[in-house]
Amino acid sequence: MAGNKMELKAHEGTYSGFITLLKVGTAVSVVVAAIVVLLIAN
């Protein structure tokens, strides 16, 4: 059982990092898309 708890903590850390990367990547993509739209519109 102790091994499972250790693995769960490792998985939670990996998942947390993935979710953070997903959020940051989404925000950056939205900003870049807005800049491209503004450049095309002008």
Residue 9: predicted pLDDT: 87
Q: How many separate domains does the chain show?
A: 1
Residue 28: predicted pLDDT: 98
Residue 1: predicted pLDDT: 54
Residue 38: predicted pLDDT: 97
DSSP string, the chain: -HHHHHHHHHHHHHHHHHHHHHHHHHHHHHHHHHHHHHHHH-
Predicted model pTM? 0.71
**Residue 23 and residue 39: Cα distance in Å, rounded?**
25
Residue 31: predicted pLDDT: 98
The whole-number mean pLDDT for each consecutive block of 10 residues of the chain, a chain of 42 residues, reads: 77 94 98 98 92
Q: Which domain holds residue 6?
A: 1-42
